[in-house]
Amino acid sequence: MKQYINRDKIYVEDLGKYANQVVSLYGWLYNKRGKGKLAFLLLRDGTGIVQCVMSKGDVGEEIFNSAAEITQESAIKIIGKVNADERAPGGFEIHVQNFELVSKSQEYPITPKEHGTTFLMDHRHLWLRSKKQNAILRIRHTIIKAIRDFFDGEGFTLIDAPIFTPAACEGTSTLFETDYFEDKAYLTQSGQLYMEAGAMAFGKVYCFGPTFRAEKSKTRRHLTEFWMVEPEVAFMDLDGDMELAENFVSYIARCVLEKNRRELQTIERDISKLESIKAPFPRLHYDEAAEILKKENTEFIYGDDFGALDETVISSQFDRPVMVHRYPGAVKAFYMKEDPEDKSRALGFDMLAPEGYGEVIGGGQREDDLDVLLAKIKEHDLPQEAFNWYLDLRRYGSVPHAGFGLGVERTVAWLCGLHHVRETIPFARLMHRLTP
Ligand code: 4AD
Ligand code: MG
């Protein structure tokens, strides 16, 4: 294959800077049509798609005919003049002067016709090239950048949590176990416990990485590998934690609205839904949320955790996320602090997204009393030896502290208005999917 050093390469998204100039574009053939002595080639380069108009008179018979042969997804180089055209998506089209085939594509499996989800997921490595998937993953990129910018801007220090861990953080039923030399290790379910150590060392910290849960349920909200950002702050209570969470999520929504207008349009997202994501968010005591479920006649049993349907019913009462706090301690993790006003309650909260997207954040204040925490570890039947280091944080200068975890994929699904989390991550890992 010819070497393309392409120092002359221009990207489709930058065409605005080159009006009336001759440029070189490198990409793939998205689609084409012809009309007599004119051919219309849609070139896709990852940053956008542009229509390239080729006329037989301009390029000569040989080049014109060779263009007629190219197949969908063939790699191509086009040299042409950038013409402003209001009717063109993106505002420009290319008047072709020269055309080169870089490499011809075999018959491409993903055609413009409708394909089933299994087929598309099996071809995820190619499906990523389509317009809608491109838009979703660009929005994911904005969300990830917004996450980092927010915490960096608030003076948090990034502290990476390990992936191999000796114990469960979020219950023993969803642990992925691995052989670790002669021993066992588990893939991390959450970096939280390590962030608590970090908060005592740095004041305010966050980790951001992949987390793993052996979710045996097939739902539209669960992946076995997902990305979570987890801030943790020393000297913070539940109210401060909820305030941090609502400012954080409002910031993410604002960034997507500012940077991804074009992508939101491509996926036909109703922008008004994103515009209403503004702090403050409503806060409901668990009992108030249970009251809503009673009024709506759901099958919810008081004292239980909320199921997906319950979350949908509660959140559908609001146009922005709602934060439900003080769940019964019995349905929450061992590390949650007891509410001193009602010891049966945990000082934790879940943020439920509107439009049926359910929980996007779980968090709260942590148990800071050594004896209470020891009792909780016993109650939850967890091996105390594995938590000795964690208990040290209560032995050496324990302070009130709080934090939360936001799941990136559920956030992407919600902000993009997608039915299922499988399209929110480049290569989804689900109970029945490990390829590609
Ligand atoms: O509510 P979770 O389990 O909370 C924790 O892990 C805490 N340790 C976080 C903390 O306080 N530092 O999970 C937090 C979020 C959920 O709200 C959800 O958005 C996401 O992680 N999440 C999942 N996303 C996709 N697939 C799964 N299987 C998920 N499980 C949780
Ligand atoms: Mg949770």
Residues of the chain with CATH 2.40.50.140: 9-103
Q: Select from 212, 228, 213, 208 the least CA-distant residue to 161.
A: 208
Backbone angles phi, psi at 148, to 5 degrees: -65, -45
Query: Along the 436 residues of the chain, how does pLDDT read in single tens digits?
Result: 666 666 788 999 999 999 999 999 999 999 999 989 999 999 999 999 999 999 999 999 999 999 888 999 999 999 999 999 988 888 999 999 999 999 999 999 998 889 999 999 999 999 999 999 999 999 999 999 999 999 999 999 999 999 999 988 888 889 999 999 999 999 999 999 999 999 999 999 999 999 999 988 888 999 999 999 999 999 999 999 999 999 999 999 999 999 999 999 999 999 999 999 999 999 999 999 999 999 998 899 999 999 999 999 999 999 999 999 999 999 999 999 999 999 999 999 999 999 999 999 999 999 999 999 999 999 999 999 999 999 999 999 999 999 999 999 999 999 999 999 999 999 999 999 999 9
Class of the 124-423 domain?
alpha beta
State if residue 245 touches ligand 1 by the CB under 6 angstroms criterion: no
Candidate of 206, 216, 228 to mutate for ligand 1, largest count of ligand atoms within 8 Å of Cβ: 228
State if residue 223 touches ligand 1 by the CB under 6 angstroms criterion: yes
Residues of the chain with CATH 3.30.930.10: 124-423
The residues near 319 (Cβ < 8 Å, ≥ 6 apart) are 273, 276, 354
- Cα separation, 2 vs 330, in Å, equals 66
Global pTM value: 0.96
State if residue 409 touches ligand 1 by the CB under 6 angstroms criterion: yes
Class of the 9-103 domain?
mainly beta
State if residue 213 touches ligand 1 by the CB under 6 angstroms criterion: yes
**Buried b or exposed e, range 102-140, using 16+ CB within 10 angstroms:** eeeeeeeeeeeeeeeeeebbbbbeebebeeebbbbbbbb
Residue 145 is encoded by which pair of tokens?
A: 């950048």
The beta strand positions in 36-165, using DSSP E, are 38-44, 49-55, 75-84, 92-103, 157-158, 164-165
Q: Which residues, chain by chain, have CB under 5 Å from ion ligand 2?
A: 362
